[in-house]
Amino acid sequence: MKDVYGQALLDFLIGQEKELLIHTSYGNVEEMPVEVFFREPSDFTPAEILAINNCKGRILDIGAGAGSLSLFLQHKGMEITALDQSALALEVMKKRGVNNLIKSDIFQLQNFKADTLLLMMNGIGLAGDLEGLEKLLCKLKSLLNKGGKVIFDSSDIAYLYKDCPLPNNGYYGELTYWYEYQGFKSNPFKWLYIDKSLMKEYATKAGFKMQVIDVDDYDQYLAVLTEAD
């Protein structure tokens, strides 16, 4: 099984849900509740609602997963395209009725321009690490129409280290995960959780102005990037 995560989404959609496990580089194994990817508008968090309300013009939902946010925006009559690198996630979104789909690694996307780039569920994390973040911000800039914006969420995971020292080999928000499903393991992939002030530094370096528009009790924040003057 190559696309372990996408297979879990597809099985859930057809009512054959099985346990999806997620392993982390800091030694944890947890069950990943697949229904989270299929959340209904009534399940959206206040930050997600705020993110949706800030979307304007042509929207690209990057790392759209099972397409819950894309579907909602589409039903609102917005011009929305969902992008994901997982072929089976694309199949799920197609079956759920998302009309405009792109199967691509965001780093490889060419010839597309949008007014809003949306990256949700710790979405900016697909940068993988700080080096990847520099590349991602440069890529996002190239995809934006003049006056456009990037809307994303992330969180500070320093709390994970409150009883142990911070890692001394890189930024503490750079994690590695892999999925396990039906005895099959995905390739490991990196995911970045970045605190607000470091994110602001990277955004500024990339020529963006960053505005934090929501922070919740778990230090998860929602932010908007616009081109700096």
Which residues bind to ligand SAM, rule: CB under 6 A?
37, 63-65, 68-69, 83-86, 89, 105-107, 120-121, 123, 126
CA–CA distances in Å: residue 44 to residues 39, 41, 98, 119, 225: 7, 5, 18, 15, 22
Which of 180/209 has CB closer to ligand SAM?
A: 180
Which of 2/204 has CB closer to ligand SAM?
A: 2
Q: How far is the CB of 192 from ligand SAM (least distance, A)?
A: 11
Query: DSSP 3-state assignment of 148?
Result: strand
Which of 47/209 has CB closer to ligand SAM?
A: 47
Which of 80/106 has CB closer to ligand SAM?
A: 106
Phi-psi region for residue 151, left (φ > 0), alpha (ψ -120 to 50) or beta?
Answer: beta
**Which residue of this chain has its Cβ atom nearest to ligand SAM in the complex?**
63
Which amino acid does the sequence have at 185? K
65 in Cβ contact with 33 (< 8 Å): no
Q: How far is the CB of 5 from ligand SAM (least distance, A)?
A: 6
Which of 72/147 has CB closer to ligand SAM?
A: 72
Which of 104/209 has CB closer to ligand SAM?
A: 104
Q: How far is the CB of 121 from ligand SAM (least distance, A)?
A: 4
Q: How far is the CB of 139 from ligand SAM (least distance, A)?
A: 10
C-alpha to C-alpha distance for 116 and 121, rounded to whole angstroms: 16
With a CB cutoff of 8 Å and minimum separation 6, the contacts of 153 are: 47, 51, 119, 120, 121, 122, 123, 124, 220, 221, 222, 223
Q: How far is the CB of 30 from ligand SAM (least distance, A)?
A: 14
In 87-171, alpha helices (H) = 87-96, 130-143
Q: How far is the CB of 146 from ligand SAM (least distance, A)?
A: 24
